[in-house]
Amino acid sequence: MKKKIVFSIIAGVILSVVGFYFAMRNVPFEQLVDFLKSINYWWMVPASAIGLFTFVLRAFRWQVILSTSRSLPFFAAFHPMMIGFMINTVLPGRVGELARPAIIKKQDDVPFSLGLTTVAAERILDLITLIVLFAWVLAAVDIDPMLQIEFRGYQLDKQTLDTIAAGMVRLCVAVVIFIIAISIPAVQRVAKAGIMKLPSLVFFAGDAFKEKMREKCCIPLTGVLDNIVSGFSLSRYPVKLLICLFYSFAIWLLQAFALYIMTFGSPGIGLSFTQMTTVFIVICFFIALPSVPGFWGVWEAGGVFGMALFAVPAHLAAGFSLATHAVLMFPVLIAGIVSAVITGINIVQISYGQEPLEQEIQKT
């Protein structure tokens, strides 16, 4: 386990350094320091409060998603969520996404596969929300179609944003189709029948082996499938789905608003709320793929590119991105540590213990 922790930390540091290099390589260090000194950091107080409040809304949303199968008190959802996000700020690979369902499995006996599916449902809601907001800002914000920005050897422009948006829409449609399909009882029956017939494919094995395979693997897998269906059952409750969508838009707009508030104390950053929302969505696209701990480096790279769309100088964009990143990340880190202390969760064990999904299959 110690080797695994050391490797993860080293990998995370390397990824962060690479991200910072590409974000800051064209930024004069002296100008960056001067800008950071010029920021009125009192604006961090309301920005941090708003950013932290969005996690309260996330906990409410997770409660609603879980309520289609299990009912959890607010803090039973809030503490695991904060611990999960805190883990993501310090470790690569988004280990915190697995920590959340592992914690509610341990504390509230919620099946791991069910908890993991509800986390996936959250991410799908976030994806839908970001796509809608991105369509709004592309229509509302004037971006020079001839603008070109170099990043890691690639030329990024408005067409790049359009391509990213189109790809996200296709992904979203595919995921929604899968959720609708798996929610149909007939599809579930076919899937379960297929799972139960898997032993027959091992035609060279004896009957005893096939029966053991059916008992130890097939039956537990059908239980996991039931939990996955339960996790995505939100689609069968229109009112709850609308409530979750409301929370989703509130979460992302408030986080963009937290960044917008910081512009009041940042000389030279004269962006409107709509423009800052555009920058924030671009940042979200940048941090969606790399599994860098806390998104350090890739967040700043996204901020530099996003603000370049509005002709903000690189040293101002880099400094502002770095400051706002800290405003949103450090309160999460502190709140997650507090939640871990309150609940008595061993962060290292929950992050690097035996694979939760493997345990779930064995115990189902």
Report the C-alpha gap between 325 and 309 in whole angstroms: 19
- Which residue, chain included where needed, has tokens 């793929």? 289
CB-based contact 159:293 (threshold 8 Å)? no
pTM for the model: 0.79
Tokens 């449609």: give the residue: 173
Contact between residue 123 and residue 239 where contact means Cβ atoms under 8 Å apart: no
DSSP for residue 73:
-
Query: Which residue shows structure tokens 């509130």?
Result: 250
Residues 6 or more apart whose Cβ sits within 8 Å of residue 208:
none
Q: Do 208 and 21 touch, CB atoms closer than 8 A?
A: no
Report in angstroms the alpha-carbon separations of 210 from 65, 313, 361.
Answer: 37, 66, 18
How far is Cα 157 from Cα 59, in angstroms, rounded to an integer? Answer: 36
Please choose, from the candidates 361, 319, 332, 341, the residue with its C-alpha nearest in 3D space to the C-alpha of residue 24.
319
Query: Nearest-CA neighbor of 277 among 173, 136, 150?
Result: 136
List all residues 6 or more positions away from 358 whose beta carbon is below 8 Å from its beta carbon: none
**Is 308 strand, coil or helix?**
helix
Q: Which two tokens stand for residue 181?
A: 């399909």
CA distances from 104 to 111, 345, 351 (A): 8, 11, 14
Give the max Cα distance, the chain.
76
Residue 279, SS3 per DSSP: helix
pLDDT tens for the chain, 364 residues long, are 445 555 555 655 566 566 555 555 556 667 777 888 888 989 999 999 999 999 999 999 999 998 888 888 999 999 999 998 888 887 766 777 888 888 998 888 888 878 888 888 888 888 888 888 887 887 777 766 666 666 555 566 667 667 766 777 777 788 778 777 777 788 878 888 888 887 777 766 777 777 788 777 877 777 777 766 766 677 778 898 899 999 999 999 999 999 999 999 999 898 999 999 999 988 888 787 656 666 777 788 888 888 888 888 888 888 898 888 888 888 998 999 899 899 888 776 666 554 444 444 344 4
The rounded Cα 257 to chain-centroid distance in angstroms is 19
Task: Specify the DSSP element, H or E, that contains 112.
Answer: helix 112-140
